[in-house]
Amino acid sequence: MPDVSLFDAEDIPEFYGPGPAGNHLPQYAARKELWQYALSLVDDPSRHWCEFGVGEGESLDWFASRKPRGNRLFAFDSFEGIPEPWLVYPAGHWKAKVYAPNRPDVVVVPGLFDVSLAPEVIQEVGPVGMAHVDCDLYASTRVVLERIGPLLQPGSILVFDEFYSYFGWRDHEYKAFMECVAEHRLEFEYLGRTPTCQVAVRILGRGRSVGATVRRCAWTPTTSGVGIRLGTE
């Protein structure tokens, strides 16, 4: 079982708020502020980025518009929706057309993760700079982290979209990440969270010991209507 001592939401800075007045998607304002903060801590612009779970491409477009010029953004999705039921959603929910990028530095790799994350693709990706993990299901997240686990190096940033704070959350992205932490003996720091499931972490070391800390947050929100509650540490 995952080590519950490695996660206490109350310790982690919380990004919250509906965004600007009249914002028609208030649930996304804090999430994107957390994303901006996480990206500000990317320390090697040459490392490639990844997104696992593309859907219609809203988040992929957001990350693509903010990535360094010298790296690539690899995007993985079957585009057939989730492969099995999750919460109230049936298998096939979130089915979408295969995303067609209009720029050469965004590479879409369609297919189920156990097929699309082939050894030659893993080799091409190399050490991960940032990965947006929007897999929902344990099985899907587990495959992703098994394949990219060796690519997680000090400085790698992972942004999870459904990490905690919903019924059964301990059995999905959270569980798969904690298993990856144990297998690769990762040391990492929590960067922040939102009230609606998202959590960002940064890898500090690997191969020595397992450990989690919380990074002191000195970020000033750039989005009006979004604030930060500092953690309890």
Give the model's confidence band at 4: pLDDT under 50 very low, under 70 low, under 90 confident, else very high. Answer: low
- pTM value is 0.95
| pLDDT tens digits, 45-90 | 999 999 999 999 999 999 999 999 999 999 999 999 888 888 888 8
Give the pLDDT score at 88. 87
Structure tokens at 167: 């019924």
Give the CATH number for residue 100: 3.40.50.150
The stretch 116-124 carries a mean pLDDT of 97
Give the chain as a 3 state SS string: CCCHHHCCHHHCCEEECCCCCCCCCHHHHHHHHHHHHHHHCCCCCCCEEEEECCCCCHHHHHHHCCCCCCCCEEEEECCCCCCCCECCECCCCCCCCCCCCCCCCEEEEECCHHHHCCHHHHHHHCCEEEEEECCCCHHHHHHHHHHHHHHCCCCCEEEECCCCCCCCHHHCHHHHHHHHHHHHCEEEEEEEECCCCCEEEEEEEECCCCEEEECCCCCCCCCCCCEEECCCC
The residue range of the domain holding 216 is 4-229
Please state, in angstroms and rounded to a whole number, the distance separating the CA atoms of residues 219 and 80. 38
Give the pLDDT score at 3. 56
Give the model's confidence band at 233: pLDDT under 50 very low, under 70 low, under 90 confident, else very high. Answer: low
Give the model's confidence band at 113: pLDDT under 50 very low, under 70 low, under 90 confident, else very high. Answer: very high
| pLDDT tens digits, 135-159 | 999 999 999 999 999 999 999 999 9
Give the pLDDT score at 35. 98
| pLDDT tens digits, 176-227 | 999 999 999 999 999 999 999 999 999 999 998 999 999 999 999 999 999 9
C-alpha of 180 from chain center: 14
What's the domain count of the chain?
1
